[in-house]
Structure 1
Amino acid sequence: MGMSPDELSAGLARVCARAGLGALLLEPQRLTGGAVMESWRFVADDSAYVLRRAPSLAFMEGRPYGHSTEAALIEAARLAGVTAPEVVAVLEPADGLGSGFIMRALPGTADPKVILGCDDPKDLLRQAARDLARIHRLRPAVVPDGVPVMDTRAGIADLKAQFIEAGGDRPIIALGLKWLEDNCPPPVEPVLNHGDYRMGNLLVEGSTLTGVLDWEIAHFGDRHEDLAFGCMAVWRFARYDRPALGLGSLEDYIAAYEAESGAQVDPARFRFWTIYRTVWWALGCLKMAAQWRSGADRMLERVVISRRTSEQELDLLLLLEEDAPEAERAREVTKPFRTRARTLPPQGDATIAELVTAVSEWLGSVKHRMEGHDRFQLAVARNALGIVAREMDIEYSGVDPRDMSEYFLSGDDTLETKGVLAKLRFDALELIEVDSPKYPALAVAQKKWLGEN
């Protein structure tokens, strides 16, 4: 389980003394959000700082580089004019805090609800395009050793391996994997990618960008990957109607990026990376449940995020169906009636028992405390219980979805196969109405596929 408040404060006091930051004045407060790493805000000698740390050392296993490299990368970006935080200390084993680093706190919020309601979203979008272009100008000579260069085909193969490991029973993801294999573009000169450049990782005060956060998956690769990722439907949050980071139009975003970078954006590459990262995040969501099961991180968010896989499946199908024949796109879709076409529940998802267990463990850990990060956890717990209530009404029946997944992976079935698209649409709607009925893309899909307003 997590570190106690006393252990955390004692460790921070040791770091502050070692790094010359002064005496720890206020106990650290857990910041909300953060699907992977923990963030804690604290004050030392009247200056505010943020500790970024892994929930456990086991959580860092298998990562391409550690926090010392990430910290050096952030400093390199900041010195190159990127709106990045100042790193003041990297954790050492003697600190007793595990793996992480400390940054000087910046003004503003990372809350998408607040940011997307700002007074001048168009100007903020231009600032975001400016900083992304600056990141892409960073060259290997100024970046710390250990930042990997992405091989796209190897990346697709890794996603496929993750899919099989998670059960191989999500047909829409299988269809996406096959599409990626068939449409992989030729290599280009790699640039530094932030890797997670999206709403939620941008710090904003008013309508001004004040920080680019969360650099843990930065790598060298195709610039279109960074551009496309932030424009995925999931990162627009409530502003599905504003495709570029939830702030504005793709045309404005791309024009601002091209003007700052001097590079031209290729629409075909942009679409490829939108589909790639949608598959990537779908599998990333599934992986959260596995991390919870392993004990690497028993935070409640893990099992709930795993159920957001259905959001990505819906988004993925909306992207892929553009390639389907007109006759298949026009085929009638039956409105879901909450009986999943499966003989077995998905293997990769958190189960009902695991969801309930996670909620129970969290309630036992907070008891009389309910402030700071616990308020966020309360909202997550309510989401988990909502999933439980909705899924209890479902009966599993029909064919094993692994069969359909195998047909897609082999190419035996495609979106040209009669009736396949209609079935996938039905299944996608049925899943998401249980897992995430308020997801903005659901209303878009219902209107498009069912004619509902």
Structure 2
Amino acid sequence: MDEQRRAAVETWLRGASGDPALAIIGAVLLSGGAIQQNWAIDVEHRGSVEAWVLRTDNAATLAVSLPRAAEYRLLQAAQAAGVTVPEPLFLCEDATVAGAPFFVMRRVKGIAAGYRVVKSELLGGGRVALAEALGQELARIHSIRPPRPDLAFLGDAPADAARAFIAAQRAALDRQHAPRPAIEWGLRHLEREAPAPVPAVLTHNDFRTGNLMLDEQGVTAVLDWEFAAWGDGHADLGWLCAKCWRFGNLAQEAGGIGPRAALYAGYGGVDDASVRWWELAAHIRWAVIAVDQAARHISGTEPNLELALTGHIVPELELEILRMTGVPDA
């Protein structure tokens, strides 16, 4: 964070916090965050040093990503529902302060990096206990249901989340120039096996290893709410269980962290067939996102190494789609 930007943020925070003596004494850009920037800032505030995070837009964004004001209000709603989230502190919608809208939340301790999380036998009191805790967090998220005036920016809930998902993914593929028959095959399979509609709930839509802050006691924060929407709660369970988010620890089906059965138990019981449907949908969704991100680089409109590398995961996802749909020898 350059000095000009830091000074502007500091001045704004003095007004927002009501502390004219507030001072930013440290600011470090945190790793990760392909779509958003997260700055760890240490602040002298009312006689003590506090650890906060400033979250704002990165250069490369996705059209489906919610703006920071929406994400801030989602954190407020989640906190009120008992979900373990970083405490939301201040929201700045004035882009002139830091170059883009931002919000500030309290910084929490823990480990989020997927490759580290899946190797640990100690986080959250062990694999079974942690998987159960993740199920409980999802149950709290899904207790938030429309209509909610404070979440009006999410729009109307879909009457049939499964059919809406298929239509959205097919439209996204149609915008691409290269055919993707394996993904189309997967979408057709989903169409034939679509579950019956269920009442809509708030879905996090990126509840996975890597977006969960954990320590030896359990979950310290559910992060990255920028893709939240009204939908079928089974979608979050399927996304977490997708093989692509197990970080190589395939035997632990709940995000490479723990057993699927423990996740289900913590949630309070689920329709396994619906979760499996959404698990296939998760691989298709991630493949479509990867195709889109690679296209942004290849087209020359947004040259970016991370976008280019994301395209290399598409064949692996296509192979998994074929396996999950029962294609022989896939």
Structure 1: state its 5+ residue gaps: 259-263, 330-421, 426-453
Q: Which amino acid is the alignment partner of residue 182 of structure 2? A: I
2:151 corresponds to which residue?
144
Deviations 1:176-200 (A, max 9, x none): 1211222222211111111111110
Task: Give the direction of change, closer, same or farther, for the CA distance of 1:280–1:128 in structure 2 (3 Å limit).
Answer: same
Q: Which residue of 2 aligns with 1:431?
A: none
For 2:190, the equivalent position in structure 1 comes to 180
Do structure 1's residue 233 and structure 2's residue 243 form an aligned pair? yes
Following TM superposition, by how much is the alpha carbon of 1:110 offset from its aligned partner in structure 2, in angstroms? Answer: 0.9
Contact 2:234-2:278 at 8 Å conserved across structures: yes
CA contact (8 A) 1:285 1:306 kept: yes
Give the Cα separation in 1 of the matches to 2:193 and 2:4.
51
Q: 2:277 aligns to what? A: 272
Taking the aligned partners of 1:103 and 1:294, their CA distance within structure 2 comes to: 36
SS for the counterpart of 1:102 is strand
- The CA distance in 1 between the partners of 2:42 and 2:270, in whole Å, is 43
Q: Secondary structure at the match of 2:221?
A: strand
Aligned residue identity for 1:219 = A
Rate the CA distance shift 1:44–1:97 in 2: closer, same or farther, 3 A. farther
2:40 touches 2:51 (CA, 8 Å); kept in 1?
A: yes
Counterpart Cα distance in 2 of 1:143 and 1:108: 30
Is the counterpart of residue 73 in structure 1 residue 74 in structure 2?
yes
- Write out per-residue CA displacement over residues 162-187 of structure 1, whole angstroms, 9 at most, x where no aligned residue: 11222242221121121122222221
1:46-57 matched pairs, under 5 angstroms: 46-56=49-59
Alignment check: 8 A CA contact 2:34 2:58 kept: no
2:39 aligns to what? 40
Take 1:301 and 1:288, find their aligned partners in 2: how far apart are those partners?
9
- The CA distance in 1 between the partners of 2:302 and 2:230, in whole Å, is 28
- Would the aligned equivalents of 1:64 and 1:147 in 2 still touch at CA under 8 Å? no
How far has the Cα of 1:11 moved from its partner?
4.0
Query: In structure 2, how many angstroms separate the alpha carbons of the residues matched to 1:49 and 1:156?
Result: 39
Selected match of 2:324 from 300, 316, 319: 319
Secondary structure in structure 1 of the residue aligned to 2:41: strand
One-letter identity of the residue aligned with 1:311? E
Please give the per-residue CA displacement for 1:305-336, whole angstroms capped at 9, x wherever unaligned.
12211231122122112xx5xxxx3xxxxxxx
Identity %: 31
- Relative distance call for 1:294 and 1:146 in structure 2 (3 A) is farther
**1:38-69 deviations in whole A, cap 9, x for unaligned?**
2221111121111221124x836x44742212
* Displacement after TM superposition at 1:242 (Å): 0.5
Q: Indicate conservation of the 8 Å contact 2:24/2:42, yes or no.
A: yes
Q: Which residue of 1 is the match for residue 260 of structure 2?
A: 250
TM-score (norm 2): 0.87
Residue 130 of structure 1 corresponds to: 136
Instruction: Provide the C-alpha distance between the structure 2 equivalents of 1:205 and 1:244, rounded to a whole number of angstroms.
Output: 17
Contact 1:115 1:207 in 2 (8 A): no
The AA in structure 2 aligned to 1:24 is: I
Partner of 2:106: 104
Corresponding residue number in structure 2 for 1:411: none
Superimposed CA distance per residue, residues 379-436 of structure 1 (whole angstroms, 9 cap, x where no aligned partner) = xxxxxxxxxxxxxxxxxxxxxxxxxxxxxxxxxxxxxxxxxxx5xx3xxxxxxxxxxx
Q: How far apart are residue 294 of structure 1 and its match?
A: 7.0
Compared CA separation, residues 197 and 13, structure 1 to 2 (3 A): same
The structure that is helix-richer by fraction is 1
Instruction: Give TM-score, length-normalised by structure 1.
Output: 0.65
Provide the rounded CA distance (Å) in 1 between the counterparts of 2:322 and 2:222: 30
Q: Does 1:306 align with 2:311?
A: yes
**Matched residue, 1:25:** 25
Q: 1:16 and 2:13 equivalent?
A: yes
Q: Distance in 2 between matches of 1:205 and 1:189?
A: 33
Separation of aligned partners in 2, 1:5 and 1:156: 44
The answer to whether the 8 Å contact 2:36/2:61 transfers is no
Structure 1 residue 207: Cα displacement:
4.3
Tell me how far apart the structure 1 counterparts of residues 300 and 39 of structure 2 sit (CA, whole Å): 21
Shift in alpha-carbon separation, 1:118–1:33, aligned structure 2, 3 A:
farther
Please say if residues 70 and 216 of structure 1, whose CA atoms lie closer than 8 Å, have aligned partners that are also in contact.
yes
Q: CA deviation at 1:239?
A: 0.9
* Pairing 1:90-101 to 2, within 5 Å after superposition: 90-91=91-92, 92-101=94-103
- Looking at structure 1, the residues matched to 4 and 205 of structure 2 have their Cα atoms a distance apart, in angstroms, of 32
SS in 1 for 2:75: helix
Larger mean Cα displacement after TM superposition, 123-132 or 109-118: 109-118
Q: Secondary structure at the residue paired with 1:94? A: helix
Secondary structure of the corresponding residue to residue 238 of structure 1:
coil
**1:99–1:166: structure 2 CA closer, same or farther, 3 Å change rule?**
farther
State the distance in 2 between where 1:159 and 1:19 align: 41
Q: What residue is the counterpart of 2:90 in the other structure?
A: 89
Q: Residue 281 in 1 paired to residue 280 in 2?
A: no
Partner Cα separation in structure 1 for residue 295 and residue 4 of structure 2:
27
C-alpha contact (below 8 Å) 1:84/1:213 kept by paired residues: yes
Taking the aligned partners of 1:170 and 1:295, their CA distance within structure 2 comes to 21
Aligned-residue offset at 1:206: 2.3
